[in-house]
């Protein structure tokens, strides 16, 4: 199997598995206990919190462990509006559904929402954010890197604008975390969401960074865990795994991302040169190192993915969270693609384990499959 869907999820690193196992066996105590057995596990959680905080230049007490990026996004948006009263949110048309669906719910409760349209490369400028700010704007939520087309947003510039206007700034960094340098202080980020299973960590765990004193009311009521803001017995093994995955990803980020970028550019160049009628979606350089999104003219992307699957290749048509939808990608539509091109899109997301030989095989399969699908399309033959 050649796995090229790392934006959907990643294989858990063996060292992460080994780090988690003790907390599912002999270190099983509830961290809320007052005896030594529990206190030791509680200490391990706090050590993990410090590791995650250091990765984004935050304070440990600003990191709240959650079940993943979706919960973190919901928390950031809903509690910002609850604490600051009814008002106005600014986001983009190309956000993850965790943001867009949360905005829909908030709209039903009287919150106004502005969804900025990105340019053809998927970028939203700080100037467009500034123009959209109103006196009642309480929050700007713009993702650091898009999960489908990989485009990086000018987060630091947007953060400077929101700080100038006294507006909270949240970024969904689920795809960006440990794939690009993130400094929440230098980038003026008030809140940030991330998830463990995107960085070779376990599923079902993530975190929300909240700048000190920006949110004070609990998101989940109960026993008072996570400094009183997110109740519920901690997912200890998941938290330990997240911290271990974070450390591994941060320690080898430079070498890893340079290699991924090299392999990405190699594959992109060959696909665009050797297959006619292909569009490369997203910014050519301001993008995640391992992300490629192509639209093939006169080809159904879902059928192409199934053909690749039979050849041992895993790719996707976009976000894994919307794979059951029959609608064209809202991300691709937001950057101006027609329905036909949106339906003809395939996303390849690689990691540092990919080899040039594997990429060559994928390209040959792509060429054969695209040619076969087009040979059965009368419109392509007419063109």
| pLDDT reading at 323 higher than 70 | no
Inform me whether the pLDDT recorded for 218 exceeds 80: yes
Q: Which residues are marked as active site? A: 321
Same structural domain, 287 and 157: no
CA distance 37 to 53: 25
Indicate whether 243 and 355 sit together in one domain.
no
Average pLDDT, the chain: 96
pLDDT of residue 309: 98
Residue 80: pLDDT above 80?
Answer: yes
Which residue, 251, 271, 292, sits at the end of a domain?
251
CATH classification at residue 324? 3.90.1150.10
| pLDDT tens sequence across 219-251 | 999 999 999 999 999 999 999 999 999 999 999
Domain boundary among 251, 276, 292: 251
240 plus 365 within the same structural domain: no
Residue 376 reports pLDDT greater than 70: yes
Whether 43 and 94 share a structural domain: yes
Note down the domain range covering 190.
14-251
Residues 195 and 325 occupy one common structural domain: no
One domain, residues 244 and 270: no
pLDDT score recorded for residue 317: 85
Q: Is the pLDDT of residue 324 over 70?
A: no
pLDDT value for 325 = 58
Does residue 327 surpass a pLDDT of 90? Answer: no
Give the mean model confidence (pLDDT) for residues 301-308: 97
Contact 180, 288 (CB under 8 A): yes
Of the chain, the percentage scoring pLDDT greater than 90 comes to 95
Query: Which of 196, 225, 251 corresponds to the end of one domain?
Result: 251
Are 233 and 334 members of one domain? no
DSSP 185: T
The DSSP call for residue 89 is: E
Question: Rounded to an integer, what distance in angstroms lies between the CA atom of residue 178 and that of residue 251?
Answer: 9
pLDDT in tens, 28-56: 999 999 999 999 999 999 999 999 999 99
Q: Could you tell me which of 56, 5, 17 has the C-alpha nearest to residue 203?
A: 17
Residue 318's pLDDT is what?
Answer: 62
pLDDT of 321 reads 52
Q: What is the reported pLDDT for 280?
A: 98
Instruction: Give residues with Cβ within 8 angstroms of 137, minimum separation 6.
Output: 87, 88, 89, 90, 165, 167
Residues 78 and 162 in one domain: yes
Residue 378 has pLDDT above 60, yes or no: yes
Q: Report the length, in residues, of the chain.
A: 383
Q: How far is the C-alpha of 214 from the C-alpha of 212, rounded, in Å?
A: 6
Q: Which of 329, 98, 285, 111 is closest to 194 using CA atoms?
A: 98
Question: What pTM, to 2 d.p., does this model score?
Answer: 0.95
pLDDT of amino acid 380: 84
Both 151 and 76 in one domain: the answer is yes
Tell me the residue ranges of DSSP E strands in 103-190: 112-116, 137-141, 168-172
Give CA–CA dist 130/144, Å, rounded: 17
Q: Is 27's pLDDT higher than 80?
A: yes
Q: Are 374 and 299 in contact (CB under 8 A)?
A: yes
Over the range 241-257, which residues count as b (16 or more CB within 10 Å of their CB) and which as e? bbbbbbbbbbeebeebb
Q: How many domains is the chain built from?
A: 2
How far is it, in rounded angstroms, from Cα 225 to Cα 239?
Answer: 14
């Amino acid at each position: 199997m050649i796995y090229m869907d790392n934006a959907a999820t990643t294989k858990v690193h063996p060292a992460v598995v080994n780090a988690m196992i003790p907390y599912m066996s002999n270190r099983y105590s509830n961290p809320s206990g007052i005896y030594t057995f529990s206190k030791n596990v509680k200490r391990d959680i706090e050590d993990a919190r410090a590791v995650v905080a250091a990765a984004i230049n935050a304070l440990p007490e600003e990191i709240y462990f959650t079940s993943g990026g979706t919960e973190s996004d919901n928390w950031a948006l809903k509690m910002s509006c609850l604490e600051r009263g009814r008002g106005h949110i600014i986001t983009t048309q190309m956000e993850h559904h965790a943001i867009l669906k949360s905005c829909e719910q908030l709209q039903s409760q009287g919150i106004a929402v502005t969804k900025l349209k990105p340019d053809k490369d998927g970028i939203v400028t700080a100037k467009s954010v500034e123009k959209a700010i109103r006196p009642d704007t309480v929050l700007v939520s713009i993702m650091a890197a898009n999960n489908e087309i990989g485009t990086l947003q000018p987060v630091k510039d947007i953060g400077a604008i929101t700080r100038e206007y006294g507006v909270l700034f949240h970024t969904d960094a689920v795809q960006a975390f440990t794939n690009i340098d993130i400094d929440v202080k230098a980038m003026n980020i008030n809140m940030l969401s991330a998830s463990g299973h995107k960085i070779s960590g376990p599923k079902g765990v993530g975190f929300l960074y909240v700048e000190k004193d920006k949110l004070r009311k609990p998101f989940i009521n109960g026993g008072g865990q996570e400094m009183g803001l997110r109740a519920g017995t901690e997912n200890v093994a998941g938290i330990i795994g997240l911290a271990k995955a974070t450390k591994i990803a941060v320690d080898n980020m430079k070498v890893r991302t340079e290699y991924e970028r090299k392999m990405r550019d190699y594959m992109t160049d060959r696909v665009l040169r050797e297959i006619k009628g292909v569009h490369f979606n997203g910014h050519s350089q301001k993008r995640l190192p391992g992300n490629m999104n192509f639209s093939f003219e006169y080809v159904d992307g879902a059928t192409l993915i199934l053909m690749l699957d039979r050849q041992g290749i895993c790719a996707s048509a976009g976000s894994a969270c919307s794979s059951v939808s029959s609608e064209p990608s809202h991300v691709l539509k937001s950057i101006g693609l027609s329905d036909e091109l949106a339906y003809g899109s395939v996303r390849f997301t690689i990691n540092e384990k990919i080899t040039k030989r594997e990429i060559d095989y994928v390209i040959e399969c792509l060429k054969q499959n695209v040619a076969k699908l087009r040979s059965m399309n009368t419109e392509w033959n007419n063109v």
